[in-house]
Chains A and B, each alone.
Chain A
Amino acid sequence: MSLLEVRDFSLEFRTRSGTVRALQDVCLSIEKSETVGIVGESGSGKSVLSFGILRILDAAAKVTSGSINFAGLDVLGASESSLREVRGREISMIFQNPRTALNPIRRIGRQIEDVLATHTSTLREDRKKKAIEALASVRIPDPERRYTAYPFELSGGQCQRVMIALALACNPQLLIADEPTTGLDVTTQAAILSLIAELARQRKMATILITHDLAMASEYCDRIVVMHAGHVVETAPTAELFRNPRHPYTARLIAATPAPEQSIGTLAAIPGNLPDLRRNDLPSCRFHARCDKAKEDCASSPLPVGPVRCLHPL
């Protein structure tokens, strides 16, 4: 059985200006120690999906269908207290922009101890040693001294390392990394991603890497899930997805990503925008208005079930 199994998950937000159909019939499964990338434009539902997996949703959110199963636990039906046992211990998350995710007025060592105190039975006197070990495991130089540092005293890359140390302090089975390197330099980005990949390998931990950078996903993920406007449009092993994209949106995304040696003339933008998800008459394929392969039935016929959710795949 898969570690995480999301089935036909649909989610809406009730807002003053209408109901936003943020996710519709999303299916996703993650195996043990697998790295899966979720890619798509902003607004495609990548982050909302990961919040749904942890059930840390806004009060305006309403799950309208589907199920989420994590290692035998029914996430959508579970009590808040049993979920609290899972969050941070079995499933951890690293957020975009580490500087705002860390507590600015608490020493970083203390923040790691907080996690240990909440989720493990580590004795009070051992926590400091464990926290320093955690800082050393993410290669923070001079961890004994850094233990007493505040987030503002560290660089962006080091803050992200602290976030990783926090997330991995309890040896979770699943790590969700939501754009973990946005705002970091390319050189730091490479170091952070290699660190995540290496720690995941050592601990046999499954990872969900949420990113809008296809090139990055291609380097670090075993499998890639492409999202567009609240739909999962294609799921495939990484090499297969890039060699033979089946959904027109995937093909357009690949063509829009700048590659080395590419000239600007061959770079192709994706026309149009995401549809307004508040519309009552959302077409069954939400990409059809932007798609040059669209046919008449795309707006009305139900999408095929399976890894490629397109009526006329490439």
Chain B
Amino acid sequence: MNVLDCVELKKHFPVGKGALLHAVDDVTLSIGQGESVGLVGESGCGKSTLVRLVTRMLDPTAGDIIYRGRNIGFIPARAFAGTQFRPKIQMVFQDPTDSLNPRHAAFDAIAEPVRRLGSAKDVGRAVAEAARMVGLPDELLPRYPHQLSGGQKARVGIARAIVMMPDLLVLDEPTAALDVSVQATILKLLAQLKRDLGMSYLFVSHDLNVVRMLCDRVVVMYLGRVVEQGPARELFQRPAHPYTRALVRAIPSIGGRPGEREVLQGEPRSPIDPAPDVCRFYGRCPQQRERCRTEAPLLREIAPGQVAACHYA
């Protein structure tokens, strides 16, 4: 059984005068036991909204969110923290400096989920265990965030997310605020935790090299929709959707040549009341044709396990 299934998930925000911003539109995806799924796309594509839906901090407009076969999409976000599911779906936030309370020592930051969701008598043991798993030495636990380095804060952020032993860990750009020197250690830690604890990851990032290293499968979003989905290796080797292709080619690499890169021109279309019959990538796509303007492409299988929403993929 999958750990998570999202079925035709939608989130539309009213933006006045009856207009709707389609932040997430008909997103269907699943995450298997122990699987790590990468979620990529540019800012404004709906990654963060999807993350907030999955972690149940936001209520969907329509569609289902199924955790181990049980629909949790209808539980109001404000009531979700009181359910048995909250400890099972946890999150690692983007900037470890901003997401830690400056007045809580590392110990209390890690202890908070246990105090709220678990039992008070387990606190000491659970915190020690989580700190050990993320490689945070005991002597750092009484320290406050400003006394910790960036890498140490990132470890605290991960420790508090795994302290309740979740099934699904949602990571929102966990290394974006870190230096390369530290990034490598944190990535290795995440790979090891996944192996040791058998957790599933939903890994949001715009660093595709990082996604490629850590994820089994990749979901590419563009303007609220999934435009391509497939096994990480195949998707990076043979991207089918023109947007994925542009993304993959935009990754700088040591010794790469920017001259050989087709640069994506223009700005994305508006997400407010998008025309239903136009491909969302129309206007920026280097391969667009007449049909893309009159008929929105649906996801279809390109190769085993790989789907893309393009007429010409």
Q: A185-B42, A186-B208, A215-B252 are in contact. Are A191 and B181 (CB under 8 A)?
A: no
Q: Which residue of B lies closest to A257 (CB)?
A: B180
Q: Which residues of A contact B208 (CB under 8 A)?
A: 186
In the complex, what distance in Å separates the CA atom of A49 from the CA atom of B252? 25
B263 touches A267 (CB 8 A): no
Cα of A189 to Cα of B149 in the assembled complex, Å: 28
Question: Looking at the complex, which one of A139, A186, A242 makes contact with B255 (CB distance below 8 Å)?
Answer: A242
Interface centre among A141, A219, A253 (most CB of B within 10 A): A219
Q: Main SS of chain A's interface residues?
A: helix
A188 touches B42 (CB 8 A): yes
Q: Which residues of A contact B266 (CB under 8 A)?
A: 141
Contact A269-B182, Cβ < 8 Å, known A219-B257, A220-B258: yes
User: What B residues does A215 contact at CB under 8 A?
Assistant: 251-254, 256
Beta-carbon contact of A41 and B214 below 8 Å: no
When distances are taken between beta carbons in the complex, the residues of chain A under 8 Å from B210 are: 258
A244-279 interface with B by 8 A CB criterion: 252-254, 256-260, 262-264, 267-270, 273
- Assess whether B136 is interfacial by the CB under 8 Å rule: no
Q: Chain B 190-213 against A: per-residue CB contact (8 Å), 1 yes, 0 no?
A: 010000000000000011111011
Which residue of chain A has its CB nearest to the CB of B211? A258
Q: Which residues of A contact B258 (CB under 8 A)?
A: 190, 193-194, 197, 219-220
- A280 within 8 Å of B (CB atoms): no
User: Which residues from B are CB-within-8-Å of A187?
Assistant: 42, 246-247, 250, 263-264
B42 and chain A: residue at smallest CB distance: A185
Interface size class of B (residues with CB under 8 A): 35 or more
Known contacts A156-B43, A269-B184, A269-B185; is-contact A260 B251 (Cβ 8 Å): yes
Which residues of the other chain, B, contact A242 by a CB distance below 8 angstroms? 254-255
- Whether A264 contacts B267 by the Cβ 8 Å rule is no
Name the contact of A41 in the complex, choosing from B44, B181, B253 (C-beta under 8 A).
B181
Report the nearest B residue to A272, measured CB to CB.
B181
The one of A155, A260, A267, A268 that contacts B267, using a Cβ cutoff of 8 Å? A155
Is A186 a contact of B206 with CB atoms below 8 Å? yes
Cβ–Cβ < 8 Å partners of B255 in chain A: 218, 239, 242
**A220 to B263 Cα, complex, angstroms:** 15
Q: Which of B187, B254, B256 has the most C-beta atoms of chain A within 10 angstroms of its own C-beta?
A: B254
- Pairs A–B under 8 Å by Cβ, sample size 25: A41-B180, A41-B181, A141-B267, A185-B206, A186-B208, A186-B250, A187-B246, A187-B247, A187-B264, A188-B42, A191-B263, A194-B258, A194-B263, A219-B258, A239-B255, A242-B254, A257-B180, A258-B187, A258-B207, A260-B212, A260-B251, A267-B213, A268-B184, A269-B184, A270-B180
- Given A219-B257, A259-B253, A262-B213; 12 other pairs, CB 8 A cutoff: A41-B179, A186-B250, A190-B252, A191-B263, A194-B261, A256-B181, A256-B183, A257-B180, A258-B212, A258-B213, A259-B254, A269-B188
User: Which A residues are within 8 Å of any B CB, using their own CB?
Assistant: 41-42, 139, 141, 155-158, 185-191, 193-194, 197, 212-216, 218-220, 239, 242, 252-254, 256-260, 262-264, 267-270, 273
Binding site for A on B (CB under 8 A): 42-44, 149, 179-185, 187-188, 191, 206-210, 212-214, 236, 246-247, 249-258, 261, 263-267
